[in-house]
Structure 1
Amino acid sequence: MNQFRQTAAAVLLAALLLLAGCGTQNPTGTDGTDDTQTPEAELVEIKNGVDRPGYYYENNLTDKAADPFILYADDTYYLYCTGGSRFSVRQTKYLNAWPSESKTILQLSSLGWAREKGWAPEVYAYEGKYYMIFSAQGYNDLHAIDIAVCDTPDGTFKPLSSTPFFAPTYSVIDGSLFFDDDGRIYMYYSKDNSTNTIGGKRTSQTYGIELEKDFSGVIGEPVLISTPEQEWELKSGSVVWNEGPVVFKENGVYYLLYSANYYVSEHYAVGYATSDTPLAKFEKPDNARILRGNGETVTGPGHCNILRSPDGSELYMVYHVHTVPPDTKNGRSLAIDRMVIRADGSIAVDGPSETRRPLPSGANGYRHVHDGFTATGEGEKAEFASFSSVDFLFDGIAKTSFENIYSMDEGGSVTITLDTPTALTSLMLYAPSLAEYVPATVDVEINGKYILRGLAFSSRLGSPVTATLSGLPEGTAVESVKVIAHLADGNEYAALSEIVMVTAREK
């Protein structure tokens, strides 16, 4: 009997221990679930830092500059423009601070052959010297192209000889140089419509020709590369233009930029064409026009050139514009805008812009983050889905209305995850230029730990709001960014058009 009681007690004890064990594994019930939750960490609110003017530039339509060309050399920008009887240069360390003073670097009277109308100078660094190409009207009334040389970009330039470098029996203007990666040099120019008639119309056409490497002359005969032919290029009646050529090479493709129509008209605009070789008829896409006025404040953008950012990661278009209507008394003004080559090889220009833009990447030690991250969206609300994509926020084009945007509902967001933690100094957030798409405010969350709340857009459409990250704890590297949009009263959409991430200044 005692043995039976001992055995029963042992069985009972084992059962109790088994139940106790089960209870340890499942303290909240028999279904194996755990309804306890770790409280979500509260975000630390930080204040937006000081918005530094040194980050930006703005096309203010007051910097007088016809046919502008900008050379970047020795951490300095040099601006050359059409000058009449002389050519001058202005220089600055910063694109957002051009001085009004200029320095004369060449007098037409010193050439011997030129009388007036010194136009469109361009300066290139080549084999330790600086070469300026330009056109002027000679005493025979024809325009010719000449080249002058100097040891510095702001010194006194001397012509290569006492006669113009290129002076055929017709007028030529807008000379431009292209240095190919195989060491060959090409000159592009406009055969001016003052001495060129095609099909009963006075016609400016673009030609190219190879040059000797020591600039002692030309090689071969000129090749026609562009002529006015698309509908938008034929708006000036019986006189038509393809002028102001500039050629550059990207991803093995030769790109031609040119201007069409009368330069003072509302139709003056920039187009492009491409070729597999530097001397051939360049092919224009169906609508080659990539830059035109808005009809409200800016008209006649044209005669452009190319400027690369200090770190080489971005392309910019340098050009001139008129106000609306054209102010022929005060002339043309300098404009600079980002230009991008899309994946399909087409060109887009973020302009003409009239609001703040970040300085080119590498300027003042600040760089832009172009890759090494992924971006996802949440809460998308798009009337036309093909016009809305997170990818559009990083395509370099901020100026838009309702295309190339990411459109969201209340509380919609964009999350950016960086491959490598990065020291960011700011984010510039752009909204479309249509008021009904502009968010009331945005919040910016960093690393899931910190947040800047209620960043409001300016009433000036197209202006960015900047999240300045100086409020982060010192040494904080950014791993993720979440931008949360809030609807403005009466709006159905809250959209962004561009996000620019700026790294901390390099020391």
Structure 2
Amino acid sequence: MIKLSGNPIVPGWYADPEARIFEGRYWIYPTYSAPYEEQRHLDAFHSADLVEWVKVPNILDMRDISWAWRALWAPSPIERGGKYYLYFAANDIQNNDELGGVGVAVSDGPEGPFRDALGKPLIDKFHNGAQPIDPHVFIDDDGTAYLYYGGWGRCNVVKLQDDMVSLGSFDDGSTYIDVTPDQFVEGPCMLKRNGLYYFMWAEGGWGTPDYSVAYACSESPLGPFNRVGKILQQNPDVATSAGHHGFLQVPGTDEWYIVYHRRPLTETDRNHRVLCIDRMEFAEDGSIIPVQITFEGVGERPIK
């Protein structure tokens, strides 16, 4: 009998998951979903088969970030050169006079502990109208590292230098490029498949039932990104507020999974969000088939 993950996949309130494969295991890095003043740490989870998940508590603690004082969320990890870099948002700044934004921490392993790499935010101002939140790191096939981020309906991409803790510039000399697609709200995410760039993002309000995910495609990591349509949204018979996701690709295959948060039907508190996983499939023309959210989750899938 096939073992199933079930949804949610772990107990507790979590949101905004980023998913990776590190050291031969599946990893999920989520926000600890609580009122802003209580979002003071990050946990992670790893699995050998997508079904049994092991919690690694406190991979990053706000006490180790000198400039952060509330609202630690939306982690995005990546490995480069044997080091692990974790990009995150903190403080939920509302203008350029407040301290906060997107930070970066570093560790020797995927389990942490991560330590603030700069002693200050990596991005601490509004550029092109984008609130500096919800970072997503992406390394292209040519080794170029990009960081997508944004809230308040605007999205930027920046180029990371080889040290992964400083910003580079693009060919035109600019540092911040606006890549905002139609109906973008927050939560950018990028994957590459068959030479095509799939840019995804969250739409709607994170505290409302209509929170969802849409996508666009481009031949360039810089766009343009023309909205195709929704690929993840609520099902009134299963859960609401399905959005802000990450993804997993089984190495050496065209097998994909979407990791996301949603709100159980029994919950009304907007912070009561849970981690879920379902299959994400592509049609023959390369489009993403809208995901059906389930209670069952996915079957056991070890990495070979």
Match of 1:65 among 14, 18, 43: 14
Which one has the bigger helix percentage? 1
Counterpart of 1:357 in 2: which secondary structure?
A: coil
Residues of 2 paired with 1:356 and 1:112: CA distance?
39
Aligned with 1:261 (options 204, 218, 225): 204
Aligned to 1:177: 137
Match of 1:86 among 13, 30, 41: 41
Equivalent residue runs for 1:405-484 within 5 Å: none
| Secondary structure, counterpart of 1:340 in structure 2 | strand
Shift of 1:261: 0.6
Answer yes or no: is the 8 Å Cα contact 2:100–2:121 preserved in 1: no
Q: Deviations over 1:132-178 (max 9, x none)?
A: 01110178545411111111001211222111111124631001111
Q: Is the 8 A contact 1:186 1:211 kept in 2?
A: yes
**Could you say which residue in structure 1 is the equivalent of 2:103?**
146
- 1:202-281 pair list within 5 angstroms: 204-215=153-164, 216-219=166-169, 220-229=174-183, 242-281=185-224
Q: Distance in 2 between matches of 1:355 and 1:343?
A: 26
Task: Please state if 1:129 is matched with 2:83.
Answer: yes
- Kindly provide the amino acid, as one letter, of the partner of residue 279 in structure 1: L
Contact 2:56–2:111 under 8 Å retained in 1: no
> Cα distance, 1:65 vs. partner?
2.0
State the Cα deviation string for residues 370-411 of structure 1 (Å, max 9, x = none): xxxxxxxxxxxxxxxxxxxxxxxxxxxxxxxxxxxxxxxxxx
Structure 2 counterpart of 1:168, from 125, 129, 138? 125
User: For 1:318-345, what per-residue CA distance to the aligned partner results, in whole angstroms no more than 9, with x for missing partners?
Assistant: 1111122643276111111111222212
User: Alpha-carbon deviations, 1:262-284, whole Å to 9, x = none?
Assistant: 01212111100111111133111
Compare 153-162 and 84-93 and name the one that shifted more.
Answer: 84-93
- Partner SS, residue 133 of structure 1: strand
Structure 1 equivalent of residue 36 of structure 2: none
* Residues 1:329 and 1:276: Cα distance change in structure 2 (over 3 Å): closer
- Report if aligned partners of 2:134, 2:149 keep a CA contact under 8 Å in 1: yes
Counterpart amino acid of residue 223 in structure 1:
I
User: SS of 1:218's equivalent?
Assistant: coil
Deviation digits for residues 220-262 of structure 1, max 9, x if unmatched?
Answer: 2322222444xxxxxxxxxxx5210011111111110101010
Are the aligned partners of 2:167 and 2:175 in contact in 1 as well (CA < 8 Å)?
no
1:18-417 alignment, distance < 5 Å: 51-53=1-3, 56-60=4-8, 63=11, 64-83=13-32, 84-99=39-54, 101-137=55-91, 141=98, 143-169=100-126, 171-190=131-150, 192-193=151-152, 204-215=153-164, 216-219=166-169, 220-229=174-183, 242-285=185-228, 288-324=229-265, 326-328=267-269, 331-355=272-296, 357-360=298-301, 363=302
Deviation sequence 1:173-232 (CA, Å, 0-9, x none): 001111111111111001x32xxxxxxxxxx22221222122222322322222444xxx
1:105 offset after TM fit, Å? 1.6
CA contact (8 A) 1:61 1:323 kept: no
Deviations, residues 57-76 of structure 1 (Å, cap 9, x unaligned): 22247633211122222232
Distance across 1 between alignment mates of 2:267 and 2:181: 26
Residue type of the alignment partner of 1:183:
G
Q: Is the 8 A contact 2:182 2:227 kept in 1?
A: no
Q: Distance in 1 between matches of 2:227 and 2:271?
A: 34
Number of residue equivalences: 286
CA deviation profile, 1:384-440 (whole Å, cap 9, x unmatched) = xxxxxxxxxxxxxxxxxxxxxxxxxxxxxxxxxxxxxxxxxxxxxxxxxxxxxxxxx
Q: In 1, distance between residues paired with 2:19 and 2:82?
A: 18
CA–CA separation in structure 1 for the residues paired with 2:49 and 2:251: 11
CA contact (8 A) 2:73 2:88 kept: yes
Cα distance, 1:52 vs structure 2: 4.4
Structure 1 residues 81-113: Cα deviation after superposition (integer angstroms, max 9, x where no partner):
1131111223332321224x5421222222211
Distance in 1, Cα, partners of 2:76 & 2:99:
20
Partner Cα separation in structure 2 for residue 116 and residue 267 of structure 1: 26
Taking the aligned partners of 2:240 and 2:225, their CA distance within structure 1 comes to 26
Q: Please, what TM-score do these two structures have when normalized by structure 1?
A: 0.53
Tell me which amino acid in the other structure corresponds to 1:184: T
Pair 60,210 (structure 1): closer, same or farther in 2 beyond 3 Å:
closer
Give the Cα separation in 2 of the matches to 1:110 and 1:168. Answer: 22
2-side partners of 1:265 and 1:61: how far apart? 22
Quickly say closer, same or farther: Cα 1:177–1:364, change in 2 above 3 A: closer
Secondary structure of residue in 2 paired with 1:205: coil
What's the CA shift for 1:317?
A: 1.0
In structure 2, the residue matched to 1:368 is none
Q: Find the aligned partners of 1:164 and 1:113 in 2 and give their Cα distance.
A: 8
Q: 1:300, CA displacement in angstroms? A: 1.0
Give the direction of change, closer, same or farther, for the CA distance of 1:364–1:123 in structure 2 (3 Å limit).
closer
Sort the Cα spacing of 1:321 and 1:348 in 2 relative to 1 into closer, same or farther, 3 A: same
CA–CA separation in structure 1 for the residues paired with 2:232 and 2:92: 33
- SS of 2:176's partner is strand
Q: Write the distance in 2 (CA, Å) between the matches of 1:134 and 1:177.
A: 10
Structure 2: gaps (5+ residues): 33-38
Identity %: 29
Matched residue of 2:235: which SS? Answer: coil
